[in-house]
Amino acid sequence: MATGKINVSVDNIFPLIKKFLYSDHEIFLRELISNATDATLKMKHLTTIGEAKVEYGNPIIEVKVDKEGKKLHIIDQGLGMTEEEVKKYINEVAFSGAEEFLNKYEDSAKDSGIIGHFGLGFYSAFMVAHKVEIITKSYKDEPAVQWSCDGSPEFIMEPAEKETRGTEIILHIADDSTEFLEDGKIDSLLSKYNKFMPIPIKFGMRTETLPKPEGAKEEDPAPTKEVDNIVNNPNPAWTKQPADLKPEDYKSFYRELYPMQFEEPLFHIHLNVDYPFNLTGILYFPKLSNDLNQQKDRIQLYQNQVFVTDNVEGIVPEFLTMLRGVIDSPDIPLNVSRSYLQADGAVKKISSYITRKVADKMNSLFKNDRAEFEAKWNDIKIVIEYGMLSEDKFFDKADKFALYPTVDGSYFTFEELQEKIKSAQTDKDGKTVILYASDKEAQHSYIETAKAKGYEVLLLDSPIIGHLMQKLESSKENISFARVDADHIDKLIQKEETQISKLSEEEKETLKKELEEAITDKSFTVQLEAMDSDSSPFTITEPEFMRRMKEMQQTGGGGGMFGMGSMPDMYNLIVNTNHPLVSEFLNTKTAKKKERLINQSLDLAKLSKGLLKGKALTEFIKRSYAMVK
């Protein structure tokens, strides 16, 4: 038996490990199984290249809980360690030895899948254990060895009774970590971190139903047998070539990733690149709502099939964090700050690559089956619009496939839209005005007025559309967006010809003064306009710029940008000086009747705009019933 001190640079590393190494103690299981996986993959590689004269077989990693003995066992059938190797890799805190192995077999080990990136690996066990034992036997046919340590720098090493190669780690679970003796807890951790590890992981047994023997009666129970409960899928879809997968394989993998997600994904993107960095993965477009905050952190980051995190901000472009799926790369540095990640050269290349692949896939879908792409547009538009806003390269590519739907259900690319509307919707200054609505029902009367003029009206209703319109207006020549209720239609698209008012300047002054006295709500600005006599007498509009700034402020833009604070609601009351009812306002001598006519007309305009609510709506209804008696 040998005793000694672990070669560490502080008197006691274990309290530091327990307190500071990881923010989450449950990571220990990921680390230990990663080491067991490395040991097994090393064994596979050495047998493949003829370096080890032993059979590789069909090794598994086994996790066992001994609740009564308060122990957790992790057992592998990998290459094991000699006494010298235990001294080197355990006592000298030399990590898992993966880097040294890869350097030694540099060329042949390139594609061995060895992990070797998980920090202090083995020592994470002391986060949950007051004592750790190692029983290990090397494939080199040397005596087995047992090592134990009670959480101080002191260790004991002695010969062990072990016939088969591999390593068993025994954790004597500390009193403050007994949750890790519960089967349910271990099962959930294996599912979270080790679901797709490349070596089969056994955790307990399960009952398998066998076919009934020939001649068995219907009422006879089917025979059963106990089999190993393998908790992981060592060959997940993203590790295979796209040519080897069918559409159903991708759907099946999506269900494996998100068992509680019942809607099928709309489509997928298979990532597979080995230069200038290594990256594999599958991204899925789910059906998306307009709520940006509810949909992030669904992409899982793996490193050589080991789960790392589902916070991929800084690795995946922000607009794509609303997608789902898996990315796996050995080139992404782990356990570092987000600011470091964003400055890392490999990460920047990975982010650009993913952006390009998504854009190319969208363009391909659009070209190959436009009808299907249009049918899915409303479910994916929030990602595309977000990407156009946040990534200039994506904006350039998306210009070819981003769609602009009309209120009548037609879809145009921007180029098609410009061609369609430029003759009718170009104003006297040569600017093409793109009309849009954000709510077909609420803005119905304004839409109908525009359509009566032969104008197209888009339906743009995502929460970030104001930001995107601003970007389009600054990047395209001679275009502007205007919501159909931003002004009366002839002001939105001003032509050379103008309507002549039936009222004199004096009458208009009198009318404006009377209206401003009668209308007590100061959020309305009275504006007199000469319009067709069959247009509404009163129309309420919201100034495009102020309304857009208010909407952008609500989605994290305009208000803060312009230092406006919380912007109030502002409306224009457009009064049609050519409508007979407006002339009647002027000609009515009775003040009470004039007030009633103005209030009724204003309330009708508010009703059309969806602004008549509460007490004002109740009084309007009473007044209207009184008028029809």
Q: pLDDT (tens digit, 9 = 90+) per residue, 515-541?
A: 888 887 778 888 888 887 777 888 888
pTM: 0.76
How far is CA 279 from its chain centroid?
19
- Closest by CA to 94, choosing from 86, 102, 105, is 86
Which pLDDT belongs to residue 292? 60
Do 463 and 597 sit in the same domain of this protein?
no
Tens digit of each residue's pLDDT (9 = 90 or more) over 205-227: 999 999 888 888 888 888 999 99
Give 534 or 629, the one with higher predicted confidence.
534
Residue 97 belongs to some domain of the structure: yes
The backbone torsions φ and ψ at residue 387, rounded to the nearest 5 degrees and listed phi first, read -65, -40
Residue 350 belongs to some domain of the structure: yes
Residue 578 belongs to some domain of the structure: yes
**Above 80 in pLDDT, residue 545?**
no
Do 185 and 294 sit in the same domain of this protein?
no
Residue 110 belongs to some domain of the structure: yes
Integer angstrom CA distances of residue 572 from 71, 351, 521: 75, 46, 12
The helix-helix angle for 580-587 and 505-518 (nearest 10°) equals 80
Q: What is the dihedral of CA 417, 419, 425, 427, to 10 degrees?
A: 120
Do 583 and 447 sit in the same domain of this protein?
no
Do 523 and 412 sit in the same domain of this protein?
no
Local structure of residue 406 (DSSP, 8 states): B
Rounded distance, CA 328 to CA 308, Å? 9
Which pLDDT belongs to residue 13? 52
Residue 71's CATH number: 3.30.565.10
Do 475 and 514 sit in the same domain of this protein?
no
Do 493 and 528 sit in the same domain of this protein?
no
Percent of the chain exceeding pLDDT 70 equals 86
Which pLDDT belongs to residue 343? 57
Specify binding-site residues.
31, 35, 76, 81, 96-97, 167, 338
Residue 125 belongs to some domain of the structure: yes
Which pLDDT belongs to residue 357? 92
Residue 563 belongs to some domain of the structure: no
Residue 537's CATH number: 1.20.120.790
Do 276 and 420 sit in the same domain of this protein?
no
Rounded distance, CA 18 to CA 20, Å? 6
User: Domain limits at 484?
Assistant: 403-498
Point out the domain boundary residue: 185, 205, 225: 205
Residue 226 belongs to some domain of the structure: no
Once rounded to an integer, what is the mean pLDDT over residues 363-379?
A: 94
Burial of 451 (0-12, 13-18, 19+ CB in 10 A): middle
Q: Which of 1-15, 364-378, 492-506 is most confident?
A: 364-378
Once rounded to an integer, what is the mean pLDDT over residues 184-194?
A: 94
Do 543 and 454 sit in the same domain of this protein?
no
Integer angstrom CA distances of residue 582 from 137, 549, 594: 99, 33, 10
Residue 340's CATH number: 3.30.230.80
Specify binding-site residues for ATP.
31, 35, 76, 81, 96-97, 167, 338
Percent of the chain exceeding pLDDT 90 equals 44
**Above 90 in pLDDT, residue 177?**
yes
- Closest by CA to 81, choosing from 195, 167, 164, 173, is 167
213-218-222 Cα angle (round to 5): 50
Query: Which pairs from 584-589 meet CB under 8 Å and 24+ separation?
Result: 585/511, 585/514, 585/515, 586/503, 586/507, 586/510, 586/511, 586/514
Residues paired with 269 in a beta bridge: 283
Which pLDDT belongs to residue 116? 44
Do 108 and 129 sit in the same domain of this protein?
yes
Do 67 and 187 sit in the same domain of this protein?
yes
Point out the domain boundary residue: 341, 367, 393: 367
| Four-residue CA torsion sign, 183, 189, 192, 198 | negative
Tens digit of each residue's pLDDT (9 = 90 or more) over 237-283: 999 999 999 999 999 999 999 988 888 999 999 999 887 888 999 99
**Above 60 in pLDDT, residue 15?**
no
Do 521 and 594 sit in the same domain of this protein?
yes
Strands 145-149 and 71-76: unpaired
Point out the domain boundary residue: 188, 205, 222: 205
Residue 190 belongs to some domain of the structure: yes
Lowest mean pLDDT: which of 117-121, 271-275, 407-411, 531-535? 117-121
Do 148 and 166 sit in the same domain of this protein?
yes
The total number of structural domains that make up the chain: 4
